[in-house]
Amino acid sequence: MKLSPWLLLVLAALAWRIIYAYWTPLVNRYVVPPGDDPAFHLPRIADNLAGHWGLLENGYPLGFHFVTALVAKIANWDALTAIRLVGPALLVLPIPILYFVGKRLFSSAAAGAFAAAAWAFLALAPVRAYGDGNYPNMLAGGVLLPLGLLFLLGSIRKPNRKTIISTVVIFVAIAFIHHLTFAYSIVLALPLLLWWSWQILTHPERKGNRPLILAGAVVVATGLGLLLWPFYKPLLLPFLETLRTQGTLASFFGAQSTPITWQGLLEVHNPFFLMLGLAGGFLILVSNLERPIKVLLTGWIGLLWLLSTTSVFGLPERFARELAVPLALAAGYFLSFFFQQAKTWPGRLIFLALPLLLIFSDWRASFQRPFALPDPYKPLIRVQHEEEFALAALRDAVPPGTTILANNSNPYLPFLVQEKVIIVPHPDQVTSLIASQPISLLYIGSRPPLTPEDIYPFYVSFDAIREQMMATPNKEKIAELPSGTEIYRLSR
């Protein structure tokens, strides 16, 4: 069986990304994933594994947790192992998706392969998202959204039962996985839907039964909105009320609502990747591609760029990160367009060598950047290898039925020991918790690296909480690490 050169390029991209994604859990062998967000997802996955299955919790979508729990059930993993090993897959899955979408969107295997390669070798935003633990966002925005928009485009160009059902299923899945991606994907789909509606309404004689399809789409969208609103209402109302009264969500997100600067954008995205994507977006705009494709891709890039420059919707950098997928698709089109302009194979090989040489050169440079091998996520690991000795000492000192009081140094501690762990949320609660709970051990951990309190709310009042716990009377030190972590037994 002969493999096409484009499929070989995709396989090379897959091989590199698999090595990179699984280096941290399988080679560096940290006991927790990078970042703090996974600690938020863990209890929900554990609930699923305990038999409490659900897709929403107070309006928060649990689709990612549901899928991860299913994988854990099949593999016989606990929740922490599942999230450590499922999370990296989200750095791999977009590669075949981008190849498929680019190939279908531009009718070119070269465009799909270049898009997949650009994303795998050059895109920095996905590796940053993984470092923070934004797994639902990565699944919804990096895997499902490009498929959903492709099928939406297919429903507009040649509507049939398969594309319409696929579109509805994918957008519903996004709604049950990540609310922010769902909200912006609806806004993103509106220009396409409005353009389609206008074409149908102004030229009904040339569209066959499409007026009926349009009416059906409106009914389905309205029905889905009414179905989902009771579930999303508890989550969305505070945001909508804040927007109504203040005109911005900046108060919700604090420092994270600062609009991204050009310099900040170049830190989120590889400059070469950004240049290729923007050049591709311009080329798409002036090309002979069908108008719906132009509306989709230029609207996708333009909307996210706009959202990254304002505090109104609260998370400019998050929207800037979302540019990775449309920029990769645009870069794929840009490279394939000029490749195909060369009419002879020697010319094509010369052209092909140039972007591949640039990609390889930039990829080599990536080993000197943040998130570079051999230990890409060390600054974001909340349980460094030096801290694992504290976990062993804690397990040795814990009698059955013990309740451990811990400071806010390690959000994963409840999943790393078998006994009950209470993490102090505020310094004023230390005394009351000791008085009201059967606490026999104090775990006073050192602060992990890279935990500014204006960005990571879990670590707010870290120093005050630690100081208050250290002032607790009637305690006996049973372990101390060079890092500063200390474990005490309480005398009652």
pLDDT category at 204 given cuts 50, 70, 90 is low
Which pLDDT value is given to residue 394? 81
- For the chain, what percent of residues have pLDDT higher than 90? 43
**What is the tens place of the pLDDT at every residue in 209-231?**
556 666 666 676 777 777 777 77
- Mean pLDDT across 315-338: 91
Which pLDDT value is given to residue 357? 72
pLDDT at 361 over 70: no
pLDDT category at 392 given cuts 50, 70, 90 is confident
Q: What is the per-residue burial (b if ≥16 Cβ within 10 Å, else e) of 223-247?
A: eeeeebeebbeeeeeeeeebeeeee
pLDDT at 344 over 80: no
pLDDT at 54 over 90: no
Which pLDDT value is given to residue 211? 61
Which pLDDT value is given to residue 27? 95
pLDDT at 196 over 90: no
pLDDT category at 167 given cuts 50, 70, 90 is confident
161-175 and 179-202 helices, crossing angle to 10° = 150
pLDDT at 369 over 70: no
Highest-scoring range by mean pLDDT, 94-103, 166-175, 404-413, 441-450 = 94-103
**What is the tens place of the pLDDT at every residue in 64-118?**
999 999 999 999 999 999 999 999 999 999 999 999 999 999 999 999 999 999 9
- For the chain, what percent of residues have pLDDT higher than 70? 88
pTM score of the predicted model: 0.88
On whether the CB atoms of residues 30 and 385 are closer than 8 A, the answer is yes
Give the chain as a 3 state SS string: CCCCHHHHHHHHHHHHHHHHHHHHHHHHCCCCCECCHHHHHHHHHHHHHCCCCCCEECCEECHHHHHHHHHHHHHCCCHHHHHHHHHHHHHCCHHHHHHHHHHHHHCCHHHHHHHHHHHHHHCCHHHHHHHHCCHHHHHHHHHHHHHHHHHHHHHHHCCCHHHHHHHHHHHHHHHCCCHHHHHHHHHHHHHHHHHHHHHHHHCHHHCCCHHHHHHHHHHHHHHHHHHHHHHHHHHHHHHHHHHHHHCCCHHHHHHHHCCCCHHHHHHHCCHHHHHHHHHHHHHHHHCCCCHHHHHHHHHHHHHHHHHCCCCCCCCHHHHHHCCHHHHHHHHHHHHHHHHHHCCCHHHHHHHHHHHHHHHHHHHHHHHHCCCCCCCCCHHHECCCHHHHHHHHHHHHHCCCCCEEEECCCCCCHHHHCCCEEEECCCHHHHHHHHHHCCEEEEEECCCCCCCCCCCCHHHCCHHHHHHHHHCCCCEEEEEECCCCCEEEEECC
Q: How does the average pLDDT of the chain come out, rounded?
A: 85
**Which residues neighbour 191 within 8 Å (Cβ) at sequence distance 6 or greater?**
295, 299
- Mean pLDDT across 422-432: 92
pLDDT at 59 over 90: no
pLDDT category at 7 given cuts 50, 70, 90 is very high
pLDDT at 208 over 60: no
